[in-house]
Structure 1
Amino acid sequence: MPEPQRRLHDPLKALADDDGSADPSVRQALAASVSAPSTESYLAAVAALCGTRLLTPIVAVGEQGPGGGDTSADMSAVLLSDATGRRAMLVFTGVDSLQRWDARARPVPATLDKVAEAALAQDAVALLVDLEGPHPVVLEQPLLGELARSRRLVALPDGGFGWMQAGGGDPS
């Protein structure tokens, strides 16, 4: 009897047809949180971000050669620091907003929970979403901690919001 075929799960298969465009409903939620700021509009924006693909920018960092090009380069996620040394990680909703920030950056698709986990691993205290617009939003603690635990904020039928545990995470 032949042995059954085994296939590895391809986590990026769902992104095979992704052209890098932002989800219009996510952009609409971000716009509402900026134009009419309230707790509800902010939470609606976070819930929208929890259900979409995001793009983490990766840039080359290395030594400059005589012609200005890199002689050796490593790829790195982008962290910004403020005057006090607090760090924030960048993430974008679409390739248009990423290119507005830096046209040379390479987009790496990820979910918000994975980006939050990476940000905390890099000692970042915030995520800056769409830094150069069209509607920038900041996510900070304790929200980042919840997201990094594979939790997703969801809109409830009664108009409130609650946490849902994404598959495979620690439900505690």
Structure 2
Amino acid sequence: MPSIPQPLVPGDDGSADASVAAALAAFAAGTADSTDVVSALSTARLLVPVVALLTESEVGEHGLRQEKESEMALPVLVGADGRKAVPAFTGTESLKLWRADARPMQAVTPQVCRAALGEEAAAVVIDVAGPVPFAIEGGMLRALASIGHVTAEGEGIQALLNGLAEHAEVTVARVTTPKSGFFRRFRRPKH
């Protein structure tokens, strides 16, 4: 039987990290650039959504179709151009804006980026439904994914800088609305 992992941040109330929220707000206002957001995200706790997918149903004794079996899955966004992205959220409020029935799973940004690459996704989209959507892709996605276990803020930033040196073509794109880049569509993860 699989074990339930312990939360990264016991007692987490689901609020967005203050430094990440501030960086995203400044980015939206045009007073900060994408590197400020990525710097704040490099050591941040994010919430990755997990949703139930119906895998088998049956007709119950009252003649109504009902769930017989379901699986928990990581949703994947698929853009109009066919590229995949993994959604992640700064807090439970932004997760609820996107999909109220999704369950949050804690992960640090480098873990989310590694998961996205493992799913062959082109991006991680932060807060896809707002308040400030932000996409991490290309070399920046690979650089963040290359950060090892982050134990202190300074270590995270140094690992990010080392990763950037390896990936000169770094790009970070702003997503202005869910329709402009990525939209909601779910695919089951490959096992």
- TM score, norm. by length of structure 1: 0.76
Q: Which residue of 2 aligns with 1:105?
A: 102
Counterpart-to-counterpart distance in 2, 1:109 and 1:84: 29
Which of 123, 126, 129 is residue 123 of structure 2 equivalent to? 126
Number of aligned positions between the proteins: 149
Residues 13 and 133 of structure 1: is their aligned pair in 2 closer, same or farther, counting only changes over 3 Å? closer
Q: Which residue of 2 aligns with 1:41?
A: 33
Identity between Structure 1 and Structure 2 (%): 36
Displaced runs of 4 or more, over 3 A: 11-14, 63-70
Gapped regions of structure 1 (runs ≥ 5):
1-10, 157-161, 167-171
Counterpart-to-counterpart distance in 1, 2:129 and 2:8: 27
Structure number with the bigger relative contact order (C-alpha 8 A, sep ≥ 6) is 2
Q: Which amino acid aligns with 2:49?
A: P
Counterpart-to-counterpart distance in 2, 1:119 and 1:77: 10
Counterpart-to-counterpart distance in 2, 1:80 and 1:70: 25
- TM score, norm. by length of structure 2: 0.69
Could you say what secondary structure the match of 1:146 adopts? helix
Q: Which residue of 1 aligns with 2:181?
A: none
Q: Which amino acid aligns with 1:27?
A: A
Q: Which residue of 1 aligns with 2:182?
A: none
Which of 65, 71, 76 is residue 74 of structure 1 equivalent to? 71
Could you say what secondary structure the match of 1:142 adopts? helix
Counterpart-to-counterpart distance in 1, 2:66 and 2:72: 15
- Is 1:164 the counterpart of 2:158 in the alignment? yes
Q: Which amino acid aligns with 2:38?
A: V
Counterpart-to-counterpart distance in 1, 2:102 and 2:79: 21
Could you say what secondary structure the match of 1:61 adopts? strand
- Is 1:28 the counterpart of 2:22 in the alignment? yes
Residues 93 and 123 of structure 1: is their aligned pair in 2 closer, same or farther, counting only changes over 3 Å? same
Could you say what secondary structure the match of 2:80 adopts? coil
Q: Which amino acid aligns with 1:16?
A: P
Gapped regions of structure 2 (runs ≥ 5):
161-165, 167-191
